[in-house]
Structure 1
Amino acid sequence: MNERASNRCLLYADVAGGLRLAVKLGEAEAGYAVERCLNRMSRCAEAYSGSALDVRADALVASFADADSALLAAREMRERVRALPPMSGIKLVLRAGVVLESEGGGEAGAAEKLAAALVEGSNPDTISVSTELTQILSPSMRRMLGKADEASSPAPLPPAPEPSEAPPPAAPLELRQDAAQEAQAQAQAQAQAQRQMRVSFRGQNWVIDAAHPTLLFGRETGNDIVVSDPRVSRQHARIELRNGSFYLADSSTNGTYLLEEGSPEHCVKRDECALSEKGHIGCGFSVADNMSDAVAFALD
């Protein structure tokens, strides 16, 4: 096996929290939330030239030409999933394991089993790597690795084994944030904490802010806003505060109509869009046709 082939890496990443979300919101809504995470993760894998991409119900597997690319892709996946706000108090998080494809003696599926085992043995929101993979990382990537319980300082990397020795067992190490990322995350948190959106429907009012970043509406009584109309889905749509901005996300059958000041009405279906300062939302129907059942929103 040539050096290039032996340095290929396999990334296994899953989304944790989907089962708890399904118990609270139902399988359909939880499945949509996990799917959004997987879509973001897939785009990250493609951005770092990931190949052999396999997207499953709640996990993703991809191959990368080198260890640095695999870890950078995993780090961006984690940030994209972290950026999604909690739903009903439940936060979806990413767990990832990265190994050399040659690990496991070349048996079919052995590398994936090893990466999945790293994921199962790690804490949520953690990126773990095998011992063998640490030997081929660039110096800059090595500096970003630290023990999961010693995030304040880098962990010493294990020495390469002598030819006569068996390779050491996989040792999970955590990919830490650098100072620039931490500062950016703090700035985003501060911006989000200061923003509020007021929402009203039939004389009732709600506030979306850092303490309550998600507002659900639909036909079922479990939603924050219940719209009794046959065109409205049980869990129709939601407004989310994310990274200091407000988004309308649709998960319905008939779509969600958005009418904002100064813009023509348009339909959002199985997608999301950023909200402007003021407007109205129709669940499955045009706002212009039924303003009395429209949800009004405005930035505070």
Structure 2
Amino acid sequence: MDIYLLPNERQALTDYRPPMHTKTIVVRLNLQYGPQAHAMDVQAGACLIGRDDDCRLKVDHRLVSRRHASIESVAGKFFLHDHSTNGTYVEERNQGKPVFVQREIYQLNGSGVISLGIEPRHNPGHLITFTLGFGG
């Protein structure tokens, strides 16, 4: 005896729902060092920070390397990569105390300050402020 499975009408059809309208959220990182400002979105290339003329944010301080650090976007998040001998301090708002990053990568969150080579409290004139923002 042969047994056959015949699809009924419901099995033969695929339900279709029109796509939901979604709003694109743009993640942006704003950096400020004195009069220098730089805005990055997730599509931007790396932002190099240091004493070198090729740096997007040029910081002229004795403890800052020529190519001290860079900030890059990976999967919609922003990461600071320290390339220096003296390290970098990141102090996020409401964090309490700065995190020391030396030849490591650190994810930036919210807003705060970046201090190259020296703790932020000892470096008030050379702080880089950062703010992560969202837009549509």
Gaps of 5+ in 2: 1-23
Partners of 1:279 and 1:239 in 2: CA distance: 14
Partners of 1:230 and 1:270 in 2: CA distance: 19
1:146-194 Cα deviation digits (max 9, x unpaired): xxxxxxxxxxxxxxxxxxxxxxxxxxxxxxxxxxxxxxxxxxxxx8x82
2:125 aligned counterpart, secondary structure: helix
TM alignment of 1:126-141, pairs within 5 A: none
**Aligned residue in 1 for 2:132:** 299
Gaps of 5+ in 1: 1-190
Matched, 1:269 2:102: yes
Partners of 1:269 and 1:210 in 2: CA distance: 24
Higher relative contact order (CA 8 A, sep 6+): 2
Task: Give, as a single letter, the amino acid of the residue that structure 2 aligns with 1:271.
Answer: E
Partners of 2:28 and 2:53 in 1: CA distance: 25
Matched, 1:245 2:39: no
Partners of 2:83 and 2:55 in 1: CA distance: 13
TM alignment of 1:221-240, pairs within 5 A: 221-240=53-72
- TM-aligned CA deviation for residue 266 of structure 1: 1.8
**Aligned residue in 2 for 1:290:** 123
What is the TM-score with the length of structure 1 in the denominator? Answer: 0.35
Partners of 1:277 and 1:285 in 2: CA distance: 21
**Aligned residue in 2 for 1:217:** 49
- TM-aligned CA deviation for residue 210 of structure 1: 3.2
- TM-aligned CA deviation for residue 204 of structure 1: 2.0
**Aligned residue in 2 for 1:208:** 40
| Alignment check: 8 A CA contact 1:213 1:242 kept | no
Give the strand-richer structure, 1 or 2.
2
- TM-aligned CA deviation for residue 277 of structure 1: 0.6
- TM-aligned CA deviation for residue 203 of structure 1: 2.0
CA radius of gyration, larger in: 2
- TM-aligned CA deviation for residue 290 of structure 1: 1.2
1:210-233 Cα deviation digits (max 9, x unpaired): 342321101111111111111111
Q: CA RMSD in A?
A: 1.5
